[in-house]
């Protein structure tokens, strides 16, 4: 008896460390990470099909029209979306699929796929979040950092809407917590095939 | 932030191996096993407060009257019940409490405690179940074995009413599965204290 894989949305504010968690998860057997599609230009070092699927606006619109996205959204003139086809192929093969998604996209993917499981990665404290945002070193403009912190606070208010909340203190514990969730979700009686 | 512990009901047909699973779980930190109360006579080798709390019918009735049981039932003239007080003390200390309960008792404990989590331990197959029932060697009467198998089949039909179903193949995997469930349940956003 081989059950279908499940879809897991991993979300959380910028600086919570969700990217690092996802990088660890994908090392495990039977877990795949969905690669987003975007209409923005590839940056230096980004490879099509690895970091993103880079599409033209026309290609992206065509996929929208064909119901090709589990969720999509527009930020600053660019579109971002989670392609449906590859994810559904993986789950049919019994693989679990992780979507690393902005807080805004989670509601949409859950609406389109009530069976998908949503996990909010929470920073251990606002102090740690601020330290992480500053520590990245990509942004030193105080105003930008304050804006990101304010946005993170707003996003944290959405945490109760998720199925699970995992605090990202020590990385290994956080990854183990997510793996527990993945395992336990497969054991739910509603997913059991008699 | 220390959350209350949770209550977990572990149930399943005779021969599924739930007792063995519970014995492994109780070795873990922060997991306690509820000791049932009964009005039946202690058997040789059984110690009061270890295997059961042995009570008189009067004592048992008094506890019923005082709402002292999370669930109780009568089998063959004897009463069996899960005492409330100790379990609630443990959960307040942040410990998780396991109840090893017959399939019949699960519905009652869930009704009295909607927050408790129910896990059905499933034998890997009816063949294995039969082998285990025969292998115990305590019962060689074919009629008794057939009756137990028939009862196990009836009990397995109740599995979809549980929150989780764990197949007890290799013991270690089964224990890991239950530990995943315990961990994941604590990460549910509804249990998160903001």
Identify the closest residue of chain A to B194 by CA–CA distance: A160
Measured between alpha carbons, how far is residue A82 from residues A36, A38, B68, B136 in Å? 5, 9, 53, 54
Apex B51 CA angle, B141 and B137, nearest 5:
20
Identify the closest residue of chain A to B157 by CA–CA distance: A194
Q: Per-residue pLDDT for chain B (194 aa), expressed as one digit of tens each?
A: 568 999 999 999 988 889 899 999 999 989 999 999 999 999 999 999 988 999 999 999 999 999 999 999 888 789 999 999 999 999 999 999 999 998 888 888 888 888 999 999 999 998 888 888 887 666 668 888 888 889 899 999 999 999 999 999 899 999 999 999 999 999 999 988 76
CB contact under 8 A, B163 and A194: no
Shortest distance, CA B62 to any CA of chain A (angstroms): 37
Shortest distance, CA A155 to any CA of chain B (angstroms): 14
CB contact under 8 A, A164 and B189: yes
pTM for this entry: 0.90
Q: In this predicted structure, what is the pLDDT of residue A136? A: 67
The crossing angle, in degrees rounded to 10, of helices B126-135 and B142-156 is 140
CB contact under 8 A, B180 and A184: yes
Quick one: pLDDT band at residue A65, thresholds 50, 70, 90? very high
Identify the closest residue of chain B to A188 by CA–CA distance: B164
Apex B109 CA angle, B178 and B19, nearest 5:
40
Condensed to tens digits (0 to 9), the pLDDT of residues A135-149 reads 766 666 888 888 888
Q: In this predicted structure, what is the pLDDT of residue A99? A: 95
**Which ipTM value was assigned to this complex?**
0.89
Q: Which of B162, B176, B180 sits opposite A189 (nearest CB)?
A: B162
Radius of gyration of chain B (CA): 17
CB contact under 8 A, B163 and A189: yes
The answer to whether residue A1 scores a pLDDT higher than 60 is no
Mutate to test the interface with B, among A192, A193, A194 (most CBs of B within 10 A): A192
Size of interface A-B (CB pairs under 8 A): 68
> In chain B, how many H helices and how many E strands?
7, 9
- Map residue A75 onto helix, strand or coil: strand
Condensed to tens digits (0 to 9), the pLDDT of residues A140-182 reads 688 888 888 898 999 999 999 999 999 998 999 999 999 999 9
Mutate to test the interface with B, among A177, A187, A194 (most CBs of B within 10 A): A187
Shortest distance, CA B98 to any CA of chain A (angstroms): 17
Q: In this predicted structure, what is the pLDDT of residue A143? A: 87
Note the maximum CA span of chain B. Answer: 58
| Residue from A125, A174, A164 nearest A25 by CA | A174
CB contact under 8 A, A188 and B120: no
Local structure of residue B34 (DSSP, 8 states):
P
B152/B189 Cα distance (integer angstroms): 35
CB contact under 8 A, B159 and A184: no
CB contact under 8 A, A161 and B189: yes
Cβ neighbors of B191 (< 8 A, separation 6 or more) are: B3, B6, B185
CB contact under 8 A, A187 and B164: yes
What secondary structure does DSSP assign to A141-184, as a single string? -HHHHHHHHHHHHHHHTTGGGSSEEEE-SSHHHHHHHHHHHHHH
Which residues of chain A are at the B interface, by a Cβ-Cβ cutoff of 8 Å? 120, 159-166, 176-177, 179-181, 183-185, 187-190, 192, 194
Identify the closest residue of chain B to A183 by CA–CA distance: B180
């Amino acid at each position: 008896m081989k059950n279908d894989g499940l879809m897991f949305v991993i979300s959380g504010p910028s600086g919570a460390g969700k990217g690092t968690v996802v990088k660890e998860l994908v090392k495990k057997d039977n877990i795949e990470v969905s690669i987003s599609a975007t209409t923005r230009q590839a940056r230096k070092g980004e490879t099509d099909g690895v970091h993103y699927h880079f599409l033209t606006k026309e290609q992206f619109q065509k996929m929208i029209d064909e119901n090709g996205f589990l969720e999509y959204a527009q930020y600053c003139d660019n579109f971002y979306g989670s392609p449906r086809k590859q994810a559904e192929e993986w789950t049919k093969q019994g693989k679990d699929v992780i979507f690393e998604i902005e807080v805004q996209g989670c509601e949409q993917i859950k609406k389109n796929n009530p069976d998908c499981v949503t996990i909010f990665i929470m920073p251990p404290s606002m102090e740690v979040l601020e330290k992480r945002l500053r520590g990245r070193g990509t942004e030193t403009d105080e105003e930008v950092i304050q804006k990101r912190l304010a946005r993170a606070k707003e996003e944290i208010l959405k945490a109760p809407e998720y199925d699970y909340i995992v605090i990202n203190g020590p990385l290994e514990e956080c990854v183990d917590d997510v793996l527990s969730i993945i395992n336990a979700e497969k054991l739910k009686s509603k997913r059991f095939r008699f």
